[in-house]
């Protein structure tokens, strides 16, 4: 069975500082990994994905994520946080191209001025 | 106009009532999904459909049913609503190749 864990319910960062939102996964075979963001009262929006290739994936709004196969992790990062980055972030994994997407429980990111 | 539209956006109902949440999409995608969001639990898959003739149960299908009326329409029904079905419900679509999901804005359901 596939699963995703986001070990932090909340991450607090000062504006301008780097941010990391953690994600670990469990899946048989090669994973397809995704990050989504949810702003208040909105649906989820796609940020980035890893399927194959370079372990560092770049996505929307200056975010990037690093795939680490040995640690089964896919942490989301940004070099310099903005107040407008404050939102709920979800990591997700699927087992193959056509499989179901399974979500983590979400991490609330709060960026203070 | 939104690519994935959910109606109603908000609904308050009473225990035992039948409720239908509707989803329509203009993405042209074959695959459609219904998820439920609860605080601290993330999104959990209720049902999914890979084409009009294909319906599959997700992680938490008990108490729910779905209908895929056309490629563009996928509705979720609660035959007899109960309070623990109070949640935010999302419809999503995807194509086969990108794997990316496109979400609607959500339907907030409260069962009293």
Kindly determine whether residue A44 and residue B96, on different chains, have CB atoms separated by under 8 Å. no
- Helix, strand, coil proportions of chain B in percent (round to 5)? 5, 55, 40
A78 in B contact zone (CB under 8 Å) = no
Highest mean pLDDT among A21-25, B51-55, B94-98: A21-25
Best residue of A21, A43, A89, A95 to probe chain B, by most B CBs closer than 10 Å: A43
For residue B79, give how far its alpha carbon lies from the nearest alpha carbon of chain A (Å).
25
Chain B residues near residue A89 by CB distance under 8 angstroms:
none
Average pLDDT of A68-81?
A: 96
B4 in A contact zone (CB under 8 Å) = yes
Per-residue pLDDT at B45 exceeds 80: yes
Kindly determine whether residue A44 and residue B100, on different chains, have CB atoms separated by under 8 Å. no
Nearby residues of B107 by Cβ (< 8 Å), 6 or more positions away: B6, B7, B8, B9, B10, B11, B21, B88, B89, B90, B91
DSSP class of residue A12?
E
- B33-44: pLDDT as tens digits: 999 999 888 899
Predicted local distance difference test score (pLDDT) of residue A53: 86
Kindly determine whether residue A34 and residue B58, on different chains, have CB atoms separated by under 8 Å. no
**Within 10 Å of residue A14's Cβ, how many Cβ atoms?**
11
Going A69 to A70 to A73 to A77, the CA torsion angle's sign is negative
Per-residue pLDDT at B99 exceeds 80: no
- B1-22: pLDDT as tens digits: 679 999 999 999 999 999 999 9
- B51-90: pLDDT as tens digits: 999 999 998 999 999 999 999 999 999 999 999 999 999 9
DSSP class of residue B79?
S
**Within 10 Å of residue A99's Cβ, how many Cβ atoms?**
15
**Among candidates A90, A47, A68, A70, which has minimal Cα distance to B41?**
A90
Cβ(A32)–Cβ(A94) below 8 Å: yes
Average pLDDT of A56-63?
A: 94
- Helix, strand, coil proportions of chain A in percent (round to 5)? 5, 50, 45
Per-residue pLDDT at A98 exceeds 80: no
Nearby residues of B64 by Cβ (< 8 Å), 6 or more positions away: B34, B46, B47, B76, B77, B78
Cβ(A9)–Cβ(B40) below 8 Å: yes
A51 in B contact zone (CB under 8 Å) = yes
């Amino acid at each position: 069975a596939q699963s995703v864990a986001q070990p932090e319910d909340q991450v607090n960062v000062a504006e301008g500082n780097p941010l990391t939102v953690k994600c670990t996964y469990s899946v048989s075979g090669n994973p397809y990994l995704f990050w989504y963001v949810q702003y208040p009262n909105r649906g989820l929006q796609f940020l980035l994905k890893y399927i194959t290739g370079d372990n560092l994936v770049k996505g929307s709004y200056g975010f990037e994520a690093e795939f680490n196969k040995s640690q089964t992790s896919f942490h989301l990062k940004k070099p310099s946080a903005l107040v407008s980055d404050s939102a709920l972030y979800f990591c997700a994994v699927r087992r193959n191209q056509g499989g179901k997407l399974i979500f983590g429980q979400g991490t609330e990111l709060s960026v203070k001025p | 106009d939104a690519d994935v539209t959910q109606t109603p956006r908000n609904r308050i109902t009473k225990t035992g009532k039948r409720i239908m949440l509707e989803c329509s999409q203009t993405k042209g995608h074959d695959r459609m999904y219904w998820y439920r969001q609860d605080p601290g639990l993330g999104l959990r898959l209720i049902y999914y459909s890979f084409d009009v003739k294909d319906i599959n149960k997700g992680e938490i299908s008990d108490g729910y049913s779905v209908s895929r009326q056309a490629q563009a329409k996928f509705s979720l029904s609660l035959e007899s609503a109960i309070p623990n079905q109070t949640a935010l419900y999302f419809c999503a679509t995807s194509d086969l190749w990108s794997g990316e999901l496109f979400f609607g804005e959500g339907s907030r359901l409260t069962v009293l």
